[in-house]
Amino acid sequence: MPMRFLIELLTVIAVCNLMVAQSSQPAAKALTEPSAHLNDFQDIEFRRYTIKEGEREHFAQYFESYFPEAFEQLGAIAAGSFFERGNQTGFTWIRGFHTIEARAVVNAAFYYGPLWKEHKKTLNDLMADSDNVMLLCPLSPERGVPVLPAVDPVTEANGAQGIVVAQIFAVKANSVEAFAKQAETMFASYRAAGAREAGVLVTLDVTNNFPQLPIRTDGPYLVWLGILKDNQMLEKDFTPVAERSLQALLATGLIRGTPELVVLDPTHRSRLRWLP
């Protein structure tokens, strides 16, 4: 039996087993909330791409046309996709898996499958770099990235609205838990300023089980995600609070330099967005 055929066969079997396991989860809530079954994604890829100059909009159109439903069908989720503000070549997206084992299975099914085979040249030709990827997990089970309903093409004709912010802290070794406790007061102040917390994530320190897709090994990191309504909330409410908190965080001695604050504008079909 040819090795490639064997790999594809084992991948199909693994994906089928994964989907059967997921379908056995309680589904009563899904009767009223169609996306309610899309939960418990405990392994998160925070993927920051560099797109070739002038091609970012095109990349997003291709990405959103072909891939979100493919990941969902395989048991993963494209939880959000964004243009990085202030960086005309920055495209960021968040992908979730139920477990680290599911990450290997789903990625194998996708990247060895027919959809990627058809479109990979088009997408790869638009990218300058795709290796800036953090593999993360929720600080605690309830602080994962929420999977919001898919953008409705009828009632949300203008596409995803709002702003997402990602604050990235390079934490000193063996200090993630201590830093998270110190930062909790600041995170509470963000929420008090109107931000909707959308995850507190930390580096998942495991061996890369799908080495075809590199991940960063310069951690640990803690990433806070929040959703803001608009620029007014960003500039008048959130930013002043973040700036006031900065010196206190640096004074903890638990982080390796100034945190990075990334402002992300949702692409047209991003699930992670501001909803009324």
Residue 128's pLDDT is 98
Q: Is the pTM of this model over 0.85?
A: yes
6, 108 Cβ separation under 8 angstroms = no
Mean pLDDT lowest among 132-141, 217-226, 243-252? 243-252
- Whole-number average pLDDT of the chain: 91
CATH architecture for segment(s) 3-20+40-266: 2-Layer Sandwich (3.30)
Asked whether the CA dihedral 127, 124, 226, 180 is positive or negative, the reply is negative
Hey, what are 117's tokens? 């085979």
What residue spans define the domains of the chain?
3-20+40-266
Q: Give the mean model confidence (pLDDT) for residues 224-246.
A: 97
151, 81 Cβ separation under 8 angstroms = no
Model confidence at 66: pLDDT above 60: yes
CA distances from 132 to 72, 216, 217 (A): 23, 7, 10
Model confidence at 37: pLDDT above 90: no
Model confidence at 7: pLDDT above 80: no
Asked whether the CA dihedral 83, 183, 257, 246 is positive or negative, the reply is positive
